[in-house]
Structure 1
Amino acid sequence: MQRLGNGLAVLKMAYGSVGAIYGDLGTSPLYVFSTIFSSNSNPTHKEVYGSMSCIFWLFTGVVIFKYALIVLIFGPNDNEGGQIAIYSKIARTLKFGPKGVKIPGSREYAQELADNDDLLSLTRTNTNASNYSHGDSMPSQRIKSFLSKFTLALCFLGCSLVFSDGLLTPTTSVLSAISGIAVAVPSFEDKVMPVSCAVLIILFLSQRFGSGKLSLLFSPIVTVWLICLFVNGVICVAKFHPKIMKALNPYYAVQFLKDHGVDSFSSMMLCVTGCEAMFADVSHFGPLPIQLALCCFVYPCLMMCYFGQAAYLIKHPSGVSNVFYLSIPGHNGDAYYWFMFVMATLATIIASQALILGVFSILIQLITLDCFPRLKAIYTSEKHRGQIFIPVANWVLMVCVVLTTVGFKNSNNVTAAYGLGISIDFILTTTLITICMRYVYRINVIIPIVFMLGFGTLDALLIISGLRKVPNGAWFPLAMAGISFMFISFWRWCRSLKVNYDISFKKSVDELFVSSSTVKAIKEAVVVNLNSENSKKGYDGANDEESVASDPDIGTSGDQDNQFLEMKYYGNIIKIPRNNHVGIMYCTSSTTLTNRSYLPHLFEHLIHSFNSVPKIFILIEPRVSTLPFIEEEDSYRLQEIAGVPGFYRCIVRSGFMRQTLLTKKLLRSLLLSISEIEELQNVYGTNDVMDDSNHFTIPVVHLFERDYVSSKEFDSEDVEEESRAMRIAKLPWKVLRRWLINYLFAPLNGISNNSTMDFLLPHKNEERNQEILYVGNRISI
């Protein structure tokens, strides 16, 4: 029964993927043949056979063999897709990646988090051990250094190309469908563009409902659409030219390419647009459901439709300009024609869905790797964590798509610019999969080489053929991809500067305080020295503790009833008074809780500014769990910081479907779990941390990190050593660097941190005995 249930679940997900993923591939028949023969009003029989054979073998090779059977098997990482998923697998295996970032890993890691083992990750610098065993030889350091930069650059470029593709795919699909009205009603020609814009706006507004709910609506539509394509194809083949099935012979494809050259690839490759979105959307449904839906349903329906259109062109070569609508069985303007028009319009709207979901999926992965600002993500499904909605990205993408539609005006202009970016994306995926095969799965080097030579050559031919589109509009997606690539690279560069600053100024507990662990270490060192140097004099070490305790440079934090905390300051030990408050500091710096022995660099400045330390001090880090919901009483994990009494670390976990607010109930439970709270209760003469009116009886201060980031001023000594010509040459870069960091990165970084911390704010900051302070210092990077 369990296997039956799992099988039904897979089939249900496969059905859902039809609506959410295959809209782009499913609407390609609207414009493929029209684009291939755009300059030929009457294609010959030989050309129709050749083009059909090329479409069949290109689709089969790229979509079925490359993506469905190879990329979807070797590419996904932690059930995520896209080039960034492949990069994450490579980086995790070879132990490189963005500094200060935990790279998502195996299912065991996800299960570990789900099993409430979050505290273990406080000391984890990598989410998964390398796949290499002791018997395997790791690549040399030089190769690893090259692969680290090379794969990250490919990853950023691939993501950028998907973003630019997200502008053209909705534009192409919707314009092509709406233009079908003009075939039957020529007077509608001028209204195609505004109606398309309205349709696209409605599509983006519906994203808030989530891919799961949309797939319930979209899947029946796309399923009916594909069945209609199959039926139309069968009727056309049987009615017009049954011998068109001979185009399955690759001989016709070879002859067509021989006669028309490699340039013909730029038009034929429109039949495979949507592959990258299919891979990027794998987190929404999983690889197996996508493969089943593609191979068992989508593929045969589309191929039969293409064969039907080719059969129609054999008999009516002059109808190539709008072969899809003209080949619909019946007569133009009858009921079935308008039914197909409505289905085409709905299918093209849905075609944009795959790209939108792909953009969401890629963005959340970039955010996880700290390569993009932390945009707010809303999870829309309890069962599938990959189904998300990113409001800011949705609205920005909507505006850009509408402006693109207005700019291109009709589908012919868009298809003239469409394809080059996708071709470049293909070869990036091929390269990353080749590296993944070799270094992650350790496949014999011959197989990755054959894979790269085979599909890489095909991808290169697609790129070469697409270059001729640059003057006709293909510059637009390349320009958009370039802007996106520069922004992602810029953000990662600035974040790396910020992380390096955090690392360089981080302080351990032993570096800041004279803690019990420090005293223990010094005692052990003194005992060793006494035993080794004075053993001949008869010392037995009995008075070692007394000698250590009498050392004026060594102290403990337990003097005077813990009213003072001994802190190291520029080689001296100063006593910091402890007040009878509770301090809660919310941490956002990348290195704050990556190791149990380190404290935020801001903490030292905080103590020197206020010249006191709360009796109880808690460092809190927010995390999103792999579970959809977490009960409030199970949402935090508390851990004492060894050596400093009253200091704690706490992870506040939030289910991805519901953010955990730091409510009064949760805060009360957290404080009552701390042993030192009884001392404060005695000071304020209360038996509880809250009274009957739900007001705190003990003062609680909430501290939020708000660092001010600015561009580093160059050292005057270094400037003096440079020649005048060198200073003049570097001046534009210095000005640009200062402007980018001060006026672009700094505001975005502040907004990014706010979106992370907002859900931890108490409900009412004006409540008695609760204060909220924003503390920070200037960080020059």
Structure 2
Amino acid sequence: MASQLHPAAHDSKNKRWNQTILLSIQIIGIVYGQLSTAPLYVFGTMRAQDLESEEVVYELFSFIFWTLTTISLIKYAIIVLKADDKGEGGIFALYSLLCRNAKVGLLPCDRTTDEVVLFEETTTPSSKINTDSKARRAIEKHKSCHYLILFLALFGSCMTIGAAVLTPALSVLSASYGVQRSLSDLAQLYVPVPSACVILIGLFVLQPCGTHKIGFMFAPIIAVWLLFVGVVGACNIFIWDVKIIYKISPLYLFKFVRNIDVKRWRLLGSAILCAAGSEAMFAGLGHFSKKSIKITFICLIYPLLVICYAGQAAYISKNLNTRDFNHLSQSVPRPSKHVFIVLSLLSSAVGSQATITASFSIINQCLALNCFPRVKVIHTSKTIHGQIYISDVNWLLMIFSLAVTVGFRDMVKIGNATSLAIICGMLVTTSLMSLIIALYWEKNLMISACFLLCFGLVEVAYFSACMLQFHKGAWYLVVLLVVSMTVMLSWHYGTVKKYEFDLQNKVSTEWLIDVSPGLGISRVAGIGFIYTDIVAGIPAFFSHFITNLPAFHQVLIMVSFKSMPVPHVPESERYLIGRIGPKYYKIYRCIVRYGYCDNNIRDTSDFEEKIIGAIGEFISIEQMSDIESMVSAEEKMMIVGNSSDGNALVPLMNDETCNEVSITNEAQISPAVIEENDHALLASSSSCNKRKKVRFMLPPASSSPKMGESVRKELLELIDARESGSAYFLGQSHLVVRDGSNYLKRFLIMVFRFFEKNGREPPVALKIPHAALVEVGMICTI
């Protein structure tokens, strides 16, 4: 009866389930590739001489089972996935939740920026926050806690990047050596390392296809691989040891610990590899839905992996005297050897996709939070915001992964480094999750402490086992850590110092109002867009500019971009508009807010039209609203959407090209060398006409009777200024270290300047016509 009454509701429900099933299929190849191919190297990275008896094999199998259960199933699939940041996962998703709910952010900001971020009450569950929490007050009070949490977030991000370098090399090389063992008669004709390099190159070359296409290409391979190793595992259980299922008993864990020694303890460094890829479940949350991730893991991945490891352990326990008994290829029945060869090579390449996808997501979040040099992010899906591809990072990962493969040529050493990367990433997630439980979920501190102790002690035990293998390959992870952490810290440090310089050298809005008459400033036709990081006052570079060249445009718009610690900012709440000075000055401030997973709004071709439309809406409702003072008494700001309803400015598509062409010049201007006769530059840039995609007009008076005459006049002046052309002003602050500064500061600034010079141009400058761009250079001494 319900289906007859509500057919649309049932169609919607069926559509959601169809989408969940579709995503679940893609997930098999993207998120669970690493977990699914771990059997290739879990036992294979253990030294054969350390597997000295059946009891040791049983104890290790018990460890593998309980590691999959406690870490992969309980910790990640059940608990951590609930800590998503509006559908986004990963280390920085946890960090952004803490920034909003515990005020631990160290991103470039000042008091007014904090007010701007906190202006939107709907983005944070502030009504649920217990402001009297002792834990929250303690963390907010001590600055050292803020630095520690930021360091943990960056450290965890570096571990994700390190895993993206090491895991492809490990999985592909282990499969290549497995093929060599399977082709014992033709072993001399098969060279594992060159073959692994070819497969790795092919994997990274496929990345530009995007997550959606790769998911459909890779999912069948991993699905067939899982079914194959599951069937092989079941066969091995019945052939070699049916009672292996009983070995999952926790008693074998206690036996292992009771008879512990260094030789046995370091075996755990390989056992933790069975959970490799668990972090990808959370990091890949932005690519897929939470429900699809859980369903796929619980119903398919987990049971098949348990059967696979049980079958391999059963084979190993009865074949301890066989050559290479601890490698998966040896446990495959001979009739299936050729199938194993094909599937292992294909799945090993596919299995690395999870870490590569996770690294793209993490770096994209670091970019938005000013913790990584500028690189181009390509969104490969119009419907799922988290599906991205980063070309520069992809090729760097390929180069480092090939270097590991050729340099080590030993899957045991690469496995040691991979184990350390995995367990370090898990420890960071556990630490941040304990804070999320206490500060965001507002659970009892005992619950937070229990989570930290239960999972932290297990992971610390694995960490200690990995450190025993530090000299046998794990040291390479430290090299990767030093490189990536240096890049992140130097970029963050340089960004903060540039912002502090701009903040200290800004001038008040009163200066522009009071000094303008004395300078004899003239106003030229057009709109001037001044891009600045500060959200109050006049940027120093613009004050120097008009001091030496006393002219600016008929309409000035101060544009600032502010990253908020949220995944997405809705389009209707993105623009914060205010007015600087009296109305007749026609100077506006526009603060554009965006989340760390939003598409780069500065790359869009209609960005200028959106700002003008938002200002038009602000003008039309300014007199009718009681606008809250956000920055100062003189600057009243409000959130506005786009003028799509026709209340303020009506957009019109116009493909015509203006007949008037002005000759303009791009200039690099330094305040010290500007001469008074250079004012022609400003006039020429303001008169630059280009093909306009959108023009504006006022709505008919009959459709907007409440619009006052003064409002219509100001809107007409805005339209006229737009038609006259636009000029864009950017400040270029060049960091210079003060004499006598310590070596660390000099080194960080040197690295920052290298990446600033050789990295991507500032996103705002990419879509600006060169003829209309004015860059004002300044020296920033720190």
- Counterpart position of 1:759: 766
Q: Is the 8 A contact 2:46 2:270 kept in 1?
A: yes
The aligned counterpart of 2:182 is 184
Contact kept? 1:629, 1:657, Cα under 8 Å = no
Deviations 1:655-699 (A, max 9, x none): 839942269998998999999xxxxxxxxxxxx998753756776
Q: 2:129 aligned with 1:128, yes or no?
A: no
Per mean C-alpha deviation after superposition, the further-off stretch among 206-215 and 664-673 is: 664-673
Cα distance between partner residues in 2 of 1:689 and 1:576: 39
1:344 matched to which residue of 2? 344
Q: How far apart are the structure 2 equivalents of 1:637 and 1:500? A: 22
1:228 aligns with 2:208: no
Superposed displacement of residue 169, structure 1: 0.6
Highest Rg: 1 or 2?
Answer: 1
Report if aligned partners of 1:378, 1:657 keep a CA contact under 8 Å in 2: no
Give the match for residue 319 of structure 2: 316
Amino acid at match of 2:95: Y
- In the TM superposition, what are the counterparts of 1:198-217 in structure 2 within 5 Å? 198-217=198-217
Instruction: Report the CA distance between 1:219 and its aligned residue.
Output: 1.0
Which stretches in structure 2 are left out of the alignment for 5+ residues? 1-9, 620-653, 662-687, 690-722
Go from structure 1 to structure 2 and tell me whether the alpha carbon gap of 1:9 and 1:102 turns closer, same or farther (over 3 Å shift).
Answer: farther
- Write the deviation string for residues 134-176 of structure 1: whole angstroms up to 9, x where unpaired: 5655413675423211111111111112222222111100001
Aligned to 2:524, the other structure's residue is in SS state strand
Distance 1:263 1:340 in 2: 29
Pair 1:577–1:512, CA change in 2 (3 A): closer
Q: Distance in 2 between matches of 1:671 and 1:126?
A: 22
Q: CA deviation at 1:640?
A: 4.8
Equivalent pair of 1:703/1:773 in contact (CA under 8 Å): yes
What is the number of residues matched between the two proteins?
Answer: 662
In the alignment, which of 266, 271, 277 is matched to residue 269 of structure 2?
Answer: 266
Shift of 1:270: 1.5
In the superposition, relative to structure 1, how do residues 648 and 462 fare at CA in structure 2: closer, same or farther (>3 Å)? same
- Given candidates 557, 563, 566, the residue that maps to 1:618 is 557
Contact residue 635 and residue 660 of structure 1 kept, 8 A: no
- CA drift of 1:102 comes to 11
Q: Aligned with 1:235: secondary structure? A: helix
Query: Residue 430 of structure 2 corresponds to which residue in structure 1?
Result: 430
Q: How does 1:48-59 map to 2 (within 5 A)?
A: 48-59=57-68
Given that 2:522 and 2:550 are in contact with CA atoms closer than 8 Å, whether structure 1 keeps it comes out as: no
- Say which SS state the counterpart of residue 616 (structure 1) adopts: strand
Paired AA for residue 271 in structure 1: C
* Distance in 1 (alpha carbons) for counterparts of 2:568 and 2:244: 53
Residues 1:667 and 1:431: Cα distance change in structure 2 (over 3 Å)? closer
Within 1, Cα distance between the matches of 2:138 and 2:208? 47
Q: Output the amino acid matched with 2:321.
A: S
CA contact (8 A) 2:222 2:347 kept: yes
Q: 1:287 corresponds to which letter in structure 2?
A: K
CA deviation after TM superposition for structure 1 residue 739, in Å: 5.2
Q: CA 1:662–1:416 in 2, change beyond 3 Å: closer, same or farther?
A: closer
1:447–1:639: structure 2 CA closer, same or farther, 3 Å change rule? Answer: closer
- Give the equivalent residue in structure 1 for 2:774: 773
* 1:262-411 map, 5 Å: 262-319=265-322, 320-329=324-333, 331=334, 334=335, 336-411=336-411
Aligned to 2:727: 702
Following superposition, the deviation at residue 345 of structure 1 comes to 1.3
Which one of the candidate residues 87, 97, 104 is aligned to 2:105?
A: 97
Change (3 A) 1:286 1:674: closer
Q: What SS class does the counterpart of residue 529 from structure 2 fall into?
A: strand
8 Å CA contact 2:30, 2:211 repeated in 1: yes
**In the alignment, is residue 744 of structure 1 matched against residue 769 of structure 2?**
no
Residues 638/66 of structure 1: CA separation in 2 closer, same or farther (3 Å cut): closer
Deviation at 1:46, TM superposition (A): 2.0
Q: Distance in 2 between matches of 1:180 and 1:291?
A: 31
* Per-residue deviation, 1:713: 2.1
Shift of 1:745: 1.5
Please say if residues 637 and 650 of structure 1, whose CA atoms lie closer than 8 Å, have aligned partners that are also in contact. Answer: yes
Which one of the candidate residues 151, 154, 158 is aligned to 1:153?
Answer: 151
After TM superposition, the structure 1 stretch with the greater mean CA deviation from structure 2, 391-400 or 634-643, is: 634-643
Q: CA deviation at 1:646?
A: 2.6
Distance 1:360 1:101, change over 3 A: farther
Aligned to 1:33: 43
Question: Does residue 603 of structure 1 match 2:603?
Answer: no
Q: Distance in 2 between matches of 1:694 and 1:79?
A: 50
Distance 1:20 1:664, change over 3 A: closer
C-alpha deviation, 1:358, in angstroms: 1.0
User: For 1:613, what is the secondary structure of its paired residue?
Assistant: strand
User: Aligned AA for 1:52?
Assistant: F
Deviations 1:241-267 (A, max 9, x none): 211111121212322333344333112
Q: Answer whether contact 1:23 1:222 (CA < 8 A) is retained.
A: yes
Q: Which residue of 2 aligns with 1:693?
A: 659
Partners of 2:289 and 2:609 in 1: how far apart?
Answer: 39
Cα distance change of structure 1 residues 744 and 700 upon mapping to structure 2, 3 Å threshold: farther
1:11 matched to 2:21? The reply is: yes
Shift of 1:126: 11
Amino acid at match of 2:328: F
Q: Tell me which residue corresponds to 1:139.
A: 137
Letter in 1 for 2:775: Y
Cα distance, 1:77 vs structure 2: 2.1
Structure-2 change in CA distance of 1:270 and 1:621 (3 Å)? same
1:86 corresponds to which residue? 94
The question of whether the paired residues in 2 share the 8 Å contact of 1:661 and 1:761 is answered with no
- Displacement of 1:410: 3.2
Q: CA deviation at 1:66?
A: 1.3
Give the equivalent residue in structure 1 for 2:501.
Answer: 501
Aligned to 1:107: none
Question: Which of residues 717, 728, 736 in structure 2 aligns to 1:711?
Answer: 736
| Aligned residue type for 1:93 | N
Structure 1: tracts of 5 or more residues without a match: 104-118, 515-565, 568-572, 676-687, 715-730
Distance in 2, matches of 1:14 and 1:392, equals 29
What is the identity, as a one-letter code, of the residue corresponding to 1:132? Answer: I
Distance 1:447-1:397 versus aligned 2 partners, 3 A rule = same
CA contact (8 A) 1:233 1:308 kept: yes
SS at match of 1:221: helix
CA shift digits 1:590-644 (9 cap, x unpaired)? 32xx3xx53322221111121112222233457999899999xx99997654525
SS at match of 2:773: strand
Superposed CA RMSD = 3.6
Indicate if the aligned counterparts of 1:662 and 1:760 stay in contact, CA closer than 8 A. Answer: no
| Structure 2 counterpart of 1:543 | none
- Quote the residue 1:551 is aligned against: none
Tell me the TM-score normalized by structure 2: 0.77
Partners in 2 of 1:213 and 1:173 — Cα distance? 22
Distance 1:666 1:456, change over 3 A: closer
**CA shift digits 1:720-740 (9 cap, x unpaired):** xxxxxxxxxxx6x53553354
CA contact (8 A) 2:106 2:146 kept: no
Structure 1 residues 309 and 507 mapped into 2: Cα distance closer, same or farther (>3 Å)?
Answer: same
Quote how far apart the aligned CAs of 1:651 are. Answer: 6.8
In structure 1, C-alpha distance between the alignment counterparts of 2:744 and 2:608, rounded to whole Å? 47
